[in-house]
Structure 1
């Protein structure tokens, strides 16, 4: 087994499951499970929790909300499983759904179980075991963008997919919705960003570029690579926020996390994926590559890039507000207010240089 294969760890005490109850449920819904199961937990993920359940060589992955999550909130496991099941026939990189559970007597939450895709997941740094040179990294990066383009080409009008979104007007709904969330996430030390919000409101496109399936959280740490042939992406994970929407909004959201080699030290400290290594495309190169291979016009991408940063700024500020109110005590969140202000500065730099 390649050492680059993403490995789980011991289950955190606060995230423990009743494995006996889970085992009883799984044996009723998945054929061929034999032996005594073992349980481990995958690291990472600030939202939903991901576990590995092993029956000898048979490996299953269970996804559930974090402790304290309310039903029908942003952690809708049954919707995520529905999206994945509907998309799987059209986009082969989606893991197969094996079972869903809405009986809270099992683990206290809705959950779903999917096949495990054994492979490498890129996080902060590029594993040396993958053996990629500069040209290999560039091909990996291009393949990453290709898989997003392929998703955006899925026929969203098919009966099983067309109900995943709300129809035309996606951009307008996103701008209004995230602006409202920004207002509600404010704390005493918040930069109000009235100028940023006003610019996004004024410069938003009058209509969507297209209406297609979008991932809404497409990053390197949500794709699985074949560890023996790392240029091959074998899976795309975390479909919680997938919907029908504008493809350039999806790309802009991805680029909010894209820290490149010449970015300042503060932005470098935010990096969660190895987009800084030699061979990786710059943000501008990603935009141009996407435009060339998708056929969509990307010349005036400033709005999408600024909105992607704004959306990430809101997410950071929402977490910081929870910290300020004492709803979470994680010390790493203490600096999130300052991080949100930094993201506002990045938005303003894009706005200042925009020709829109």
Structure 2
């Protein structure tokens, strides 16, 4: 088993800061979850960085609970009500998400807002190099990923009731503004290349203003694969989803080919790997697979998109570091994230320079 699989996969005992009254939750589930039968046992998933995520175990079935973390929070973050809304809508058209049961906005039940969904059995893979798999089994897993994100970007969001799930248009302008504010609010160290990116990005936004549902954090370890087949059974962690630009979402996913290779990074990098030897598509092959699936000729301005996404991920990680500072982080590994921010900013600025920044 890879180090990342061991570190981030599976469950653990609930951290003291994230415990709640299990009897209260059990009573709530009796009233609001069809077919629920106790008694209830609660574990915490190791991997959740932002919204604490729990496994709810009963004699007949397992569920998953996602909640807002307790304590001081950044504005607009941890929107579990939006997660609940989007997975409920997506399930209605057969997109692979867990079945949702209920959203509880009453903070008196466990202390913060939460929702409950099915526990989808299968594989969550934390090592993007798929080192635990044979060469012949790797390409089909990447193919399943790209088909799934293409399916998401091809959905008619208005037809499934998500026409007001975000603001169509000006996606990059709004995202750059949002993450700049959140980065500054959480800042714990001076990173020159983050300052350069925040200054450069707003003036470089491409004119292409397409809109689709975007996941916002689409990556291998945010999906459940079928136990034995190269198929995506469920896409998880919709906290950052909205209406946005499909190329912003796809090129975020594409960062796994360009990410600085840092041991503390949650998702491993493919940068510098012999992909032919591994049986994994190159970034160029993967772009072609996506473009074929969504009917695009190609992706112009790829360096802008990658610079933007390196900046955005660094800002997301800085938010986690800020929650460590404020005492509201939900992962034992959150403090390690601070080390990742300068290397991400460096790679982001290198892409900006490829796009003409000086």
**Same fold (TM > 0.5):** yes
**Unaligned stretches of 5+ in structure 2?**
1-5
Instruction: Please identify, of 175-184 and 144-153, the stretch whose mean Cα deviation from structure 2 is larger.
Output: 175-184
1:68 equivalent among 55, 67, 71: 71
Change (3 A) 1:38 1:101: same
CA deviation map 1:131-166 (0-9, x unaligned): x42232011111101100000001022261111011
Aligned to 1:121: 124
Aligned to 1:140: 141
1:84 equivalent among 80, 84, 87: 87
Aligned to 2:290: 290
- Decide whether the 8 Å contact of 1:171 with 1:204 is kept in 2: yes
RMSD: 3.1
Aligned to 1:113, what secondary structure does the other structure show? strand
TM-score w.r.t. the length of structure 1 is: 0.85
Q: Is 1:247 the counterpart of 2:246 in the alignment?
A: yes
1:186 to partner: Cα distance:
4.1
- State how far apart, in whole Å, the 1-side matches of 2:40 and 2:330 are: 34
Aligned to 1:212: 212
- State how far apart, in whole Å, the 1-side matches of 2:108 and 2:140 are: 47
Change (3 A) 1:71 1:109: farther
Ranked by relative contact order (alpha carbons within 8 Å, sequence separation 6 or more), the top structure is: 2
Change (3 A) 1:187 1:235: closer
Change (3 A) 1:192 1:309: closer
Aligned to 1:106: 109
Change (3 A) 1:19 1:96: same
Q: Is 1:344 the counterpart of 2:339 in the alignment?
A: no
- State how far apart, in whole Å, the 1-side matches of 2:212 and 2:112 are: 30
Change (3 A) 1:245 1:227: same
- State how far apart, in whole Å, the 1-side matches of 2:42 and 2:327 are: 32
**Unaligned stretches of 5+ in structure 1?**
none
- Decide whether the 8 Å contact of 1:122 with 1:274 is kept in 2: no
Aligned to 1:62, what secondary structure does the other structure show? strand
Aligned to 1:317: 318
- Decide whether the 8 Å contact of 1:122 with 1:273 is kept in 2: no
1:175 to partner: Cα distance:
2.4
Change (3 A) 1:249 1:23: same
Instruction: Please identify, of 96-105 and 18-27, the stretch whose mean Cα deviation from structure 2 is larger.
Output: 96-105
